[in-house]
Structure 1
Amino acid sequence: MAASALISPAIHAVRSASAIVCKEVIDSHVLRIDGYSRLKHMMHGKYIRSGDFHAGGHAWRLLYYPNGSQLQFQDHIAVYLQLASRDPNDEQVLARPRFSLLDQLGNPALPHDCGMHRFSY
């Protein structure tokens, strides 16, 4: 009588999981403007660039137009966010800028959400 081997398939439960997480990074930068009235008279059609600052892992700067960036908006100020550094791994950076003027106590007033934008260097 020959011995036979009992072959039993192994039961192995395969469990797998993955996650894609997109956390919102909230950073802020304050641009203080001293001498607004004087700048308004000196800077027609020109902008002043802020110093670079870091937010969300990237370097940024603000472009401040004291007389607006277009002729029809000379009675307004304009502020633009510009990507200041290039990461070789990122061709574009997604960001959702929000701007506010600050009142005399430093509290946000007149907030403006610009929505999601793609920035490139």
Structure 2
Amino acid sequence: MGTPEVSRSPTKSPLTVSTSLTETVDGFHEFKIRSYSLTKGLGVGKFVASETFNVGDYTWAIYFYPDGKSPEDNSSYVSLFIALASEGADVRALFELTLVDQSGNGKHKVHSHFGRALESGPYTLKYRGSMW
């Protein structure tokens, strides 16, 4: 007599599933600078800041340097930055900053990432005070 054969059915691996969810939050903040002409001559590196505002779970501020942020600007350019005001955050952000001519002539200048296209991805702001 031969050895009895044991019939084994193929074992199936349990089904596993995982999901990755990346959320984005849109926000908008309007920072009006009244009497803009009075800010010229404030000095290189001197700024006017917006109140802090929240987008998502993070706090932000906008900094406007009417005579530029650095001496290389030679007071010929204005500088505009968005800054992370939240503590202990590592945030990726896409943003658009728009300067609007208050005269009503419809002229405005849009800076998306200061020349960086949205398709190239977000900036990472790693600590409180990070600016772009």
For Structure 1 versus Structure 2, the TM-score category normalised by the shorter chain is 0.7 to 0.9
Give the Å deviation of 1:40: 0.6
Is 2:66 aligned against 1:60? no
Q: 1:3 matched to which residue of 2?
A: none
For the residue of structure 2 that corresponds to 1:40, the secondary structure is coil
Task: Name stretches of at least 5 consecutive residues in structure 2 with no aligned partner.
Answer: 1-6, 117-121
Correspondences of 1:42-81 after superposition (within 5 Å)? 43-45=42-44, 46-73=46-73, 74-81=75-82
- Whether contact under 8 Å (1:39, 1:66) holds in the other structure is yes
Alpha-carbon distance change, 24 to 79 in structure 1, aligned in 2, over 3 angstroms: same
Q: 1:40 matched to which residue of 2?
A: 40
Give the Å deviation of 1:25: 1.6
Query: In percent, how many aligned pairs have the same letter?
Result: 22
Q: 1:17 matched to which residue of 2?
A: 17
Report the Cα distance in structure 2 between the residues aligned to 1:109 and 1:15, rounded to whole angstroms.
Answer: 55
Report the Cα distance in structure 1 between the residues aligned to 2:52 and 2:11, rounded to whole angstroms.
Answer: 59
Quick one: which amino acid aligns to residue 95 of structure 2? P
Give the Å deviation of 1:76: 1.6
Normalising by structure 1, we get a TM-score of 0.73
- Which residue of 91, 99, 102 corresponds with 1:93? 91
Q: Could you list the runs of 4 or more consecutive aligned residues of structure 1 that deviate by over 6 angstroms after TM superposition?
A: 7-13
Give the Å deviation of 1:15: 2.2
Report the Cα distance in structure 1 between the residues aligned to 2:85 and 2:107, rounded to whole angstroms.
Answer: 25
Report the Cα distance in structure 1 between the residues aligned to 2:100 and 2:22, rounded to whole angstroms.
Answer: 29
For the residue of structure 2 that corresponds to 1:64, the secondary structure is strand
Give the Å deviation of 1:82: 1.3
| Greater relative contact order (CA < 8 Å, ≥ 6 in sequence) | 2
Give the Å deviation of 1:26: 1.4
Alpha-carbon distance change, 18 to 77 in structure 1, aligned in 2, over 3 angstroms: same
- Whether contact under 8 Å (1:100, 1:108) holds in the other structure is no
Task: Name stretches of at least 5 consecutive residues in structure 1 with no aligned partner.
Answer: 1-6
Normalising by structure 2, we get a TM-score of 0.68
Identify which range, 66-75 or 30-39, moves more after superposition.
Answer: 66-75
